[in-house]
Amino acid sequence: MGYRFTIHFNEQHIKYASHKFFFRRFSNSIMSATFIAVLIVVLFVAERKIDWLTGMGLGVLLVASTSLISFYFRSTQKRLARLKKQGGTIDYELSEEFLKTKTSSASAEIKWDAFKAIWIFPKAWLLLARDGGYLTFPLDQISLEIREFLKQRIYAVGGLIE
């Protein structure tokens, strides 16, 4: 059994997926860094021990946080540039063995074991690859039958549905 379908991406699809991926992937890191920074400031102010070491530690946290935010904007811009270059249309073919993608400039055939999870959001599903990338499936463009097939294939390779 197989499925063929085409997805027409627009800027909103890309921004939505990028935002959801980033905040699910990094929200715990951001929260932890913020909590640690606030805790350090409170403890050192209470003890009146603000010195260069405290400042350096907070500086490191600031640089890390800034780098993470910069990563978010760079990755979103990269995906938007790819959308403009490829025209935003991707043809998919799903079978028991692989997922095929085809754009105006490239094509790929990927075995299902290259994927590790599906992240489910209200407007899109993200199919996460083991190498850290993801494919976006806007829900307004894929049928319930295709969604069930995607779940089945990810379960079959030991992946998670989150």
Q: Is 108 left (phi over 0), alpha (psi -120 to 50) or beta?
A: beta
Specify the pLDDT at position 87.
80
Counting as low any pLDDT under 50, the low residues of the chain are none
What predicted TM-score, i.e. pTM, was given to this entire model? 0.81
Spatial strand order of the sheet with 98-102 comes to: 3-8, 89-94, 98-102, 107-111
E-strand spans in 11-66?
Answer: none
